[in-house]
Structure 1
Amino acid sequence: MIAVTGATGTVGGLVARLLADDGPVRLLARDPARAAELGIPGEAVAADFDDPASLVAALAGAHALFVVTANPLRPEHDPNLLTAARESGVRHVVKLSALAVADERADDLITRWQRRNEDLVRACGLPWTILRPRSFMSNSLAWASSIRTRGVVQAADGTSRNACVAPEDIAAVAALALTGGAGEGMTYPLTGPEALSAAEQTAVLAEVLGRPVRFVGTTPEQAYEAWSRRYPEPVAQALLHSARRQRDGAKELVDPTVEKLLGRPALTYRDWAHQHRHDFL
């Protein structure tokens, strides 16, 4: 039995679908009905990161666990989950982290939280694998509404590049690790095969969609104003710090790990855009 957290999210749901043919999958969710509504394969069980007892019960009988946590303002979630994994007899933990952890210049709230989570995984007493993806290509879906209604992409800094990675590739590596096909005690950087700017992504989307799409750049500071309306102040500040690092070239490096592990080229942004063309129309 493989247990998957974050199954109603982007990567977790993909991981569950990839594992469905390899054996039983258990989906840990605060709202199990949501997993069923999304058609995610597996046994959905109630589990709350704030309730350790629910985690122990949900992990009973699982031999591997995919760990996805999402709230840097709740640092207790990862230790609660790892403690429950030990108590339940889990034998391998695969943790979704972030590539910013490897950058000494990254000292924002979110990166510090991920660094601490990685330290917890390494010290938990269980075999582990850590995945460090660059930004998800699916972040572009935030532009879908403005593309549909106005033919516009509005984003911070259209010139700085990011070697973003397809969630499908992250999920494929995670599934490989969870089924024993990737080494324990390993930390894997995961990027796409090229670094693109938001303006270059916009041009790809225009070509794939067969319609004009115009890029409108904003400064990181203008983006921060929007983030501060959506997120708590510490998170908005972390996103601003991340945007400034990208502007300084911190996210351009392309790593070959995805291709080495999967035995095929990593998906390009164009590949991903073709697969998700319907989401923008």
Structure 2
Amino acid sequence: MTTLVTGATGNTGRHVVAELVRRGEQVRALTRNPAAAEQRLPAAAEVVAGTHTAPESLDAALDGVERLHITVTAGLTEAGPELVRRAVGAGVRRITVVWGGGVGPVEKAVEDSGVEWTRLEPQEFMSNALTWTESIRTEGVVREPYDFPSALVHEADIGAVAAAALLDEGHAGRAYNLTGPEVLTVGERVAILARATGRDLRFVQITHEQAVERLLATGVSRADAEYVVGWYAASDAASRTVVDTVEQVLGRPSRTFAQWTAQYADRF
């Protein structure tokens, strides 16, 4: 059987591809830039050009596919239901979807698709720490507006749970809240990074508006910037509560932030 993974080089997609390949699955990896993807993905993966935001162009990519992994992104809100419709029409019989933070049109289309589905609801990604690389490299500083607690989850664990849901029985119709094994504040994460890098790192708090302006400078809309920073100011209970879903699905503990930093310390 063949699984199509959309967003195959993204934060979670590449881990889904790697885990499926590790488990011997035939994987078709959808990406806008195949040349770059081939350097980042396992050689056994079949890399194809395309984007899930243009489902009308994906008939060839969906040919012979029985399983589909979708990561919901901002650009997929309108195109996602059509992608699901075309996938089911092409013969897809099992879908996993990494939600966009809520049950929107894409998530609802998957749920109503008539095929087996599993929704993954990860909390904050550990890889968000990669946004600190430049300030850590140049100044040894992390600047954030709030020292908020978060039950961070490793992206590789998301990928492994997705692969299990795609390949194994018993996951259909389930919505999986995914966290890591501990709740960490920003300051605690910085301390772990300091130990991993052997550097003296500092956490410096900035204002809410400074954080918004920083996002605006990257091209984010003000509405989205306010939403993101506002979430950090008042995150919901699920984002700071550890659950054992990863361990229940995979039969092993979820990865720690210390394990994540050991993998990525050279970037800082």
TM over 0.5: yes
Q: Which runs of 4+ in 1 moved over 6 A?
A: none
Q: 1:213 Cα deviation (Å)? A: 0.5
Aligned partner of 1:164 in structure 2 is 152
Counterparts of 1:1-281 in structure 2 under 5 Å?
Answer: 1-21=2-22, 22-41=24-43, 42-71=45-74, 74-98=76-100, 100-101=101-102, 114-158=103-147, 160-230=148-218, 231-246=220-235, 251-280=239-268
Select between 204-213 and 20-29 the one with higher mean Cα deviation: 20-29
Q: 1:39 Cα deviation (Å)? A: 3.8
Question: Counterparts of 1:188 and 1:148 in 2: how far apart (Å)?
Answer: 36
Judged with a 3 Å threshold, the aligned counterparts in structure 2 of structure 1 residues 126 and 249 are, in CA distance, closer, same or farther, namely closer
**What are structure 1's unaligned runs of at least 5 residues?**
102-113
Judged with a 3 Å threshold, the aligned counterparts in structure 2 of structure 1 residues 70 and 87 are, in CA distance, closer, same or farther, namely same
Judged with a 3 Å threshold, the aligned counterparts in structure 2 of structure 1 residues 182 and 156 are, in CA distance, closer, same or farther, namely farther
Residue by residue, what CA displacement relative to the aligned partner does 1:105-139 show, whole Å, maximum 9, x if unpaired? xxxxxxxxx43322121112221000000010010
Question: Counterparts of 2:238 and 2:93 in 1: how far apart (Å)?
Answer: 35
SS in 1 for 2:240: coil
Question: Counterparts of 1:119 and 1:241 in 2: how far apart (Å)?
Answer: 25
Aligned partner of 1:109 in structure 2 is none
Question: Counterparts of 1:17 and 1:30 in 2: how far apart (Å)?
Answer: 18
Residue by residue, what CA displacement relative to the aligned partner does 1:60-106 show, whole Å, maximum 9, x if unpaired? 101100101322x55222112202211210010000015x53xxxxx
Judged with a 3 Å threshold, the aligned counterparts in structure 2 of structure 1 residues 181 and 138 are, in CA distance, closer, same or farther, namely farther
Select between 5-14 and 131-140 the one with higher mean Cα deviation: 5-14
Q: 1:249 Cα deviation (Å)? A: 5.6
SS in 2 for 1:273: helix
Residue by residue, what CA displacement relative to the aligned partner does 1:147-178 show, whole Å, maximum 9, x if unpaired? 111111111212x2010100011111011111
SS in 2 for 1:49: coil
**What are structure 2's unaligned runs of at least 5 residues?**
none
Q: 1:182 Cα deviation (Å)? A: 4.7
Question: Counterparts of 2:175 and 2:111 in 1: how far apart (Å)?
Answer: 10
Q: 1:33 Cα deviation (Å)? A: 2.1
Tell me how many residue pairs correspond in the alignment: 264
Q: 1:51 Cα deviation (Å)? A: 3.0
TM-score by length of 2: 0.92
Question: Counterparts of 2:76 and 2:157 in 1: how far apart (Å)?
Answer: 28
